[in-house]
């Protein structure tokens, strides 16, 4: 078979350049990545053999072997797992499928310091390519289980790689690195030293459920005292293979947990939080869950895979087990090991299994209670959590009614109380004024747009705190009018506003009655004239500066939500809103006077002013005018008359 030469895909080439030019200081992790890939390949083969009786594969002694050759300065990581076909090698090794890669590479180029660059690569992980940190040539020999021919892939990482079909290759994959010269200043250690290999495997891969064996060296150099006689020596198993989730907490160090997390998540940075759960009784299981320290790039993309692995009695069953975690907690990674499930369990069966549903509920509650504890015990860590995952967690307010209050309890919101620091609802409630019954909020595109909205005026004047909700998802969950601690969340742009102490409310009601009489003719006339666009015109108690604003009825859908539904292709009827006038504004009192004096005798002039008042209110809240050209014409006409 001829040797074919291929070019790496552009992103792959860029990534390889970074590896070759050593931007990541801790080079030891290349071995963790190779062992991790080998372990995944063994998991895959065991599963495939379980599901497909006809698979012609040897599963009698699945393991990982590390071989070193001091003379040739090579290191080989070998597994007898699933292997790869010719096309899979081209696809999986020559290209990068991860959709976040392009963004990562952009950010990377813009990173100003080495520390920033390292932080970025820590968030990303480059798997197999990390071999090029320590090797100047990498060869991968692989044969897919069940196939007869193998494939040899070789590259120096410089833009191209070669592929050749080989007739005799063992099942599985062997990755051989031709090591760069040792350079301890650059953290390039002696990777042919058994001592070093033992140390790295112990540190990073001890929990791997397959044996990681090291063949004895031919001439056992400095380490070789035990090999003095000529008897053939057994390979040494380097890892304990103990499932961390099955060990008691005081036996496992944080570092060990973190390494398991990195193996499961392909994330190179440590998790923010480790969560353990042991369920005893009729349905026994253990869970070891992790909250990452940063959100992955594709968290909001369709097809994002959830990171819970399912094991049954220590045997890996599946990745991305969506039946175990609600979608709004999809960022949680980890392992769940159940005692009483069949090894053959399918995704469909899991979705319907009552025990799994109970497990799902319990895991979700456990994650939420952990976040709650973090919130009170470690506010800074919680702040990181919220910054990274707040948006996705809030999706739960729409879908998980049982936990809605718990989710609200661990949520934070931007607030008028503090320009920089968000608030929790508990803190908001503690600051509520005497006589204030509700938690007030306003939704909008940005903090600035909300703060400038006329709806905020009375709240600002009375010093009543308002939550500023700017995520698109906020628009949707608030519609269900949830409550926290018995206090309902209320939009400041909906319904009547009634602020202040009991006494102030009474005074305001008396004043409103008097005003109501004074303005009743104008309000009736405007309601009639503007009936095509609004359902009522009334006096406002929420304005102090602006002449008018538009509000929604308490339970009506807001225009932003209407627009969102329309964008999703749903047919929603236009909901008419309410125009509120500020009787303290000269434009409104003037209009009232003019209407009382001239009434219908004025022709179209007053009606046009009423229309303009409505349009100004719409613009002030950032809304879109129904007929902008008519607005411009009427406005220009009035401006002209001022000259
Ligand atoms: N030893 C192996 N046996 C079988 N397939 C492998 C092996 N090593 C790598 N692969 C295949 O190549 C793919 C790419 O590997 P690589 O290590 O670059 O990325 P990854 O493990 O998927 O993710 P990450 O880049 O986050 O580590 C793997 O997903 C796997 O399908």
Q: What is the DSSP string of 563-611?
A: HHHHHTT---PPPPEEEEE-TTSHHHHHHHHHHHHHGGGGTTHHHHHHH
**Domain 244-385 belongs to what architecture?**
2-Layer Sandwich (3.30)
Asked if residue 444 has its Cβ within 6 Å of ligand 1, the reply is no
pLDDT at 223 over 50: no
pLDDT at 197 over 80: yes
pLDDT at 611 over 90: yes
Asked if residue 82 has its Cβ within 6 Å of ligand 1, the reply is yes
Atom 20 in ligand 1: residue holding the nearest Cα: 127
Q: What is the rounded CA–CA span in Å between residue 594 and residue 605?
A: 10
Write down the pLDDT at residue 578. 92
- Taking the centre of ligand 1 as the mean of its atom positions, its distance from the CA of residue 127, in whole angstroms, is 6
Closest alpha carbon to 443 in 414, 474, 464, 482 = 474
pLDDT at 222 over 50: no
Average predicted confidence (pLDDT) for the chain: 88
- Does 457 or 1 have the greater pLDDT score? 457
Mean pLDDT in residue range 609-625: 90
CB contact at 8 A, 308 and 360: no
Mean pLDDT in residue range 468-497: 89
What are 94-147's pLDDT values in tens digits? Answer: 777 665 666 777 777 777 666 666 666 666 667 888 899 999 999 999 999 999
CB contact at 8 A, 11 and 148: no
Task: Quickly list H helices, 433-567.
Answer: 447-451, 457-462, 472-477, 502-529, 559-567
In ligand 1, the atom with minimum distance to the C-alpha of 126 is 25
- Does 234 or 374 have the greater pLDDT score? 374
Helices 586-598/605-620 angle, 10° precision: 160
- Taking the centre of ligand 1 as the mean of its atom positions, its distance from the CA of residue 93, in whole angstroms, is 7
pTM confidence score: 0.77
Asked if residue 37 has its Cβ within 6 Å of ligand 1, the reply is yes
Asked if residue 125 has its Cβ within 6 Å of ligand 1, the reply is yes
Q: The domain 411-491 is classified under which CATH number: 3.90.45.10, 3.40.50.300, 2.40.70.10, 3.40.50.11260?
A: 3.40.50.11260
pLDDT at 219 over 60: no
In ligand 1, the atom with minimum distance to the C-alpha of 79 is 1
Name the percent of the chain lying above pLDDT 90. Answer: 52
**CB-based contacts of 190: which residues, under 8 Å, 6+ apart?**
182, 196
Atom 22 in ligand 1: residue holding the nearest Cα: 127
pLDDT at 287 over 90: yes
Q: What is the rounded CA–CA span in Å between residue 574 and residue 557?
A: 9
Asked if residue 525 has its Cβ within 6 Å of ligand 1, the reply is no
Write down the pLDDT at residue 622. 83
Mean pLDDT in residue range 7-18: 84
CATH number, span 4-216: 3.30.565.10
Write down the pLDDT at residue 124. 63
Mean pLDDT in residue range 583-601: 87
Q: What confidence category does residue 225 fall into, taking pLDDT thresholds of 50, 70 and 90?
A: very low
What are 400-434's pLDDT values in tens digits? Answer: 999 999 999 999 999 999 999 999 999 999 999 88
For domain 502-642, the CATH superfamily is: Heat shock protein 90, C-terminal domain (1.20.120.790)
Phi, psi for 296 (deg, rounded to 5): -70, 155
Q: What is the rounded CA–CA span in Å between residue 444 and residue 433?
A: 24
Atom 1 in ligand 1: residue holding the nearest Cα: 38
- Taking the centre of ligand 1 as the mean of its atom positions, its distance from the CA of residue 296, in whole angstroms, is 18
Annotated binding site: 33, 37, 79, 84, 99-100, 123-128, 173, 347
pLDDT at 546 over 80: yes
- Taking the centre of ligand 1 as the mean of its atom positions, its distance from the CA of residue 126, in whole angstroms, is 9
- Taking the centre of ligand 1 as the mean of its atom positions, its distance from the CA of residue 534, in whole angstroms, is 60
Q: What confidence category does residue 224 fall into, taking pLDDT thresholds of 50, 70 and 90?
A: very low
- Taking the centre of ligand 1 as the mean of its atom positions, its distance from the CA of residue 90, in whole angstroms, is 12
Q: What is the rounded CA–CA span in Å between residue 489 and residue 454?
A: 19
Closest alpha carbon to 134 in 192, 178, 94 = 178
Asked if residue 565 has its Cβ within 6 Å of ligand 1, the reply is no
Write down the pLDDT at residue 564. 78
Write down the pLDDT at residue 382. 97
Atom 24 in ligand 1: residue holding the nearest Cα: 127
Mean pLDDT in residue range 582-592: 93
- Does 561 or 615 have the greater pLDDT score? 615
- Does 1 or 240 have the greater pLDDT score? 240
Write down the pLDDT at residue 525. 93
Asked if residue 79 has its Cβ within 6 Å of ligand 1, the reply is yes
Q: What confidence category does residue 296 fall into, taking pLDDT thresholds of 50, 70 and 90?
A: confident
Write down the pLDDT at residue 261. 93
Mean pLDDT in residue range 466-470: 95
At which residue do the structure tokens 């076909």 appear?
Answer: 85
ipTM over 0.95: yes
What are 397-407's pLDDT values in tens digits? Answer: 999 999 999 99
Q: Give the domain ranges of the chain.
A: 4-216, 244-385, 411-491, 502-642
Q: What is the rounded CA–CA span in Å between residue 286 and residue 279?
A: 6
- Taking the centre of ligand 1 as the mean of its atom positions, its distance from the CA of residue 36, in whole angstroms, is 9
Mean pLDDT in residue range 14-40: 85
């Amino acid at each position: 078979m001829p040797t074919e030469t291929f070019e790496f895909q552009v992103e792959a080439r860029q990534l390889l350049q970074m590896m070759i030019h050593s931007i990541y200081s801790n080079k030891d992790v290349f071995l963790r990545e190779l062992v991790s890939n080998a372990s995944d390949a063994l998991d895959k083969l065991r599963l495939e053999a379980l599901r497909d009786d006809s698979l012609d594969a040897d599963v009698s002694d699945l393991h990982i072997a590390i071989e070193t050759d001091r003379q040739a300065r090579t290191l080989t990581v070998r597994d007898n797992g699933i292997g790869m076909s010719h096309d899979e090698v081209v696809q999986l090794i020559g290209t990068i499928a991860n959709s976040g890669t392009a963004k990562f590479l952009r950010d990377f180029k813009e990173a100003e310091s080495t520390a920033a660059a390292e932080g970025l690569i820590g968030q990303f992980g480059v798997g197999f390519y990390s071999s090029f940190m320590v090797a100047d040539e990498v060869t991968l020999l692989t044969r897919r289980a069940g196939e007869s021919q193998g494939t040899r892939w070789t590259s120096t990482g410089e833009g191209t790689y070669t592929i050749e079909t080989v007739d005799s290759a063992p099942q599985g994959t062997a990755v051989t690195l031709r090591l760069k010269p040792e350079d301890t200043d650059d953290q390039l250690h002696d990777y042919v030293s058994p001592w070093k290999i033992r140390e790295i495997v112990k540190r990073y891969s001890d929990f791997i459920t397959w044996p990681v064996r090291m063949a004895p060296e031919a001439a056992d150099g400095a380490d070789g005292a035990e090999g003095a006689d000529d008897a053939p020596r057994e390979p040494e198993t380097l890892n304990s293979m103990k499932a961390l989730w099955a060990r008691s907490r005081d036996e496992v160090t944080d570092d060990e947990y973190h390494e398991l997390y990195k193996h499961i998540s392909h994330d190179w940075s440590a998790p923010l939080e480790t969560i353990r759960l042991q369920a005893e009784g009729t349905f026994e299981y253990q869970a070891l869950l992790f909250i990452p320290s940063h959100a992955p790039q594709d968290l909001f993309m369709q097809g994002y895979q959830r990171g819970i692995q399912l094991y049954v009695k220590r045997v890996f069953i599946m990745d991305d087990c969506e039946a175990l975690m609600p979608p709004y907690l999809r960022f949680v990674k980890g392992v769940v090991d159940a005692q009483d499930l069949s090894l053959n369990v399918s995704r469909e069966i899991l979705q319907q299994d009552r025990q799994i549903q109970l497990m799902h509920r319990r895991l979700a509650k456990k994650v939420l209670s952990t976040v709650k504890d973090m919130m009170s015990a470690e506010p800074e860590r919680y702040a990181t959590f919220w910054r990274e995952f707040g948006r996705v967690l809030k999706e739960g307010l729409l879908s998980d009614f049982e936990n809605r209050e718990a989710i609200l309890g661990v949520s934070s919101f931007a607030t008028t109380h503090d320009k920089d620091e968000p608030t929790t609802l508990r803190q908001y409630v503690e600051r509520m004024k005497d006589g204030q019954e509700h938690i007030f909020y306003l939704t909008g595109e940005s903090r600035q747009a909300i703060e400038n909205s006329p709806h905020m005026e009375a709240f600002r004047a009375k010093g009543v705190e308002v939550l500023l909700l700017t995520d698109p998802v906020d628009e949707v969950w608030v519609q269900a009018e949830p409550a926290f601690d018995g206090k309902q969340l209320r939009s400041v742009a909906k319904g009547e506003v009634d602020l202040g102490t009991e006494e102030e409310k009474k005074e305001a009601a008396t004043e409103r009655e008097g005003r109501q009489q004074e303005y009743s003719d104008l309000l009736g006339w405007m309601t009639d004239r503007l009936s095509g666009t609004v359902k009522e015109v009334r006096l406002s108690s929420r304005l102090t500066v602006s002449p008018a604003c538009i509000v929604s009825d308490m339970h009506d859908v807001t225009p932003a939500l209407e627009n969102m539904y329309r964008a999703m292709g749903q047919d929603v009827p236009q909901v008419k809103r309410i125009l509120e006038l500020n009787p303290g504004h000269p434009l409104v009192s003037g209009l009232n006077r003019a209407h009382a004096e001239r009434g219908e005798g004025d022709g179209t002039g007053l009606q046009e002013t009423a229309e303009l008042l409505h349009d100004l209110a719409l613009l002030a809240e950032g809304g879109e005018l129904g007929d902008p050209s008519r607005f411009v014409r009427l406005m220009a006409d009035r401006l002209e008359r001022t000259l």
